[in-house]
């Protein structure tokens, strides 16, 4: 999007025969809504290709004073969303449910006592509440309001990856400009956010990726984002740069792979370094040698964004986090992940390919 106006025009809610908002005269009568909502629903856990269905339902309500009608604009498809559908994620929504855990919505209509207004942009306050839908009626406390002058794709994809990156950079080690951080899975959504946010903090990054055919293009892409050093897994195992004293050892490491890759992160860390695991793409356990624990006195920690949000509720720290992320986006210092828009009708393609993993671009539902 080149302007907020163009962005609003693209995602402007359509008020037509199937979507009617009727405002009654006088303040004593409630606002009525009559909307056909489309959603990706499921009534049991299992193979997403078998359990997810595109459904329609009519939302016909008189809005209570603190209720709102919201229309989702764009909603990404994350690997964790697939795990929820499979029933393997720690969060299991009560059935029947709607898929999706992340996205940005716009308020279309608001009750008389609502703190939200038509045109406000909002994010769901709790994880995995079902974002793959066109419309929903809820109370104010379902939502967290954010600024609406940033690209919709950035707003829709900020709650999981950029927020995870920010929290890990802030909460485990008091980083100072010039400090080093190492991470595997550096081309992931979190990895790219780590690179960009660390750059704004003056923190240097060693970024580890899997070898691939277009590895030099990948390295250049991450370098352009602000990555200091980009290495393949094989190059990390062979490097002598720390033993030679060419660069300082990292004080903080992020692991989303597990297995041998997590061990290499331990090897690279400085004494008393902190190793934070936030994912396990290899499905292998995190491994640290006995020597890493005794002689380097490493600290192995874990982080889960959903749990952090639940514990924080609507704390000042959480609201500041969203303000920080949206400000970085507004200033052009945090770009959204590579993505491809699809409609809800193409949900099978999006779910099947996300399940296979290692996508060149994240699937994102553009809600019409």
Contacts 24+ apart (CB under 8 A), 229-238: 229/204, 229/205, 230/186, 231/206, 231/207, 232/208, 233/184, 233/208, 233/209, 233/261, 233/264, 236/206, 236/208, 236/264, 236/268, 237/264
Alpha-carbon span 265 to 243, nearest angstrom: 15
Q: Is 277 exposed, middle or buried (0-12, 13-18, 19+ CB in 10 A)?
A: buried
Alpha-carbon span 271 to 298, nearest angstrom: 7
- Residue whose entry in the numeric block shows the structure tokens 């999007």: 1
CB atoms closer than 10 angstroms to residue 246: 9
89 catalytically annotated: yes
Alpha-carbon span 344 to 350, nearest angstrom: 9
- Catalytic annotation, pick one of 72, 89, 278, 363: 89
Alpha-carbon span 155 to 121, nearest angstrom: 9
Alpha-carbon span 204 to 346, nearest angstrom: 40
Q: Known catalytic residues?
A: 89
């Amino acid at each position: 999007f080149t302007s907020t106006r163009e962005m609003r025009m693209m995602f402007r809610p359509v008020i037509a025969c199937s979507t009617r908002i009727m405002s009654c005269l006088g303040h004593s009568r409630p606002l009525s809504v009559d909307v056909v909502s489309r959603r990706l629903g499921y009534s049991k856990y299992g193979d997403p290709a078998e359990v997810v269905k595109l459904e329609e339902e009519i939302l016909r309500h008189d809005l209570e004073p603190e209720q709102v009608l919201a229309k989702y604009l764009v909603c990404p498809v994350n690997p964790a969303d697939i795990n929820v559908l499979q029933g393997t994620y720690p969060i299991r929504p009560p059935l029947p449910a709607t898929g999706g855990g992340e996205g940005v919505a716009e308020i279309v209509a608001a009750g008389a006592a609502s703190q939200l207004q038509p045109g406000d942009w909002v994010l769901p306050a709790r994880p995995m509440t079902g974002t793959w839908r066109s419309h929903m009626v809820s109370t104010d406390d379902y939502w967290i309001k954010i600024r609406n002058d940033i690209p919709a794709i950035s707003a829709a994809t900020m709650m999981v990856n950029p927020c995870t990156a920010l929290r890990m950079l802030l909460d485990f080690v008091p980083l100072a400009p010039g400090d080093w951080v190492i991470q595997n899975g550096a081309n992931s959504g979190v990895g790219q956010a780590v690179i960009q946010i660390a750059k704004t903090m003056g923190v240097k990054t060693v970024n580890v990726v899997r070898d691939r055919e277009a590895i030099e293009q990948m390295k250049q892409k991450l370098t352009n984002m602000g990555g200091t050093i980009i290495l393949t897994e094989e190059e990390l195992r062979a490097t002598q740069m720390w033993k030679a004293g060419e660069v300082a050892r990292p004080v903080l490491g992020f692991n989303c792979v597990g297995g041998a890759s997590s061990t290499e992160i331990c090897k690279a860390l400085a004494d008393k370094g902190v190793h934070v695991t936030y994912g396990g793409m290899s499905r292998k356990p995190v491994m640290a040698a006995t020597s890493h624990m005794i002689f380097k006195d490493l600290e192995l920690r874990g982080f889960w964004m959903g749990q952090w949000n639940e514990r924080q509720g609507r704390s000042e720290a959480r609201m500041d986090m969203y303000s920080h992320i949206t400000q970085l986006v507004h200033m052009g210092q945090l770009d959204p992940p590579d993505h491809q828009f699809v409609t809800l009708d193409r949900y099978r393609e999006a779910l099947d390919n996300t399940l296979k993993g290692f996508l060149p671009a994240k699937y994102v539902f553009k809600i019409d």
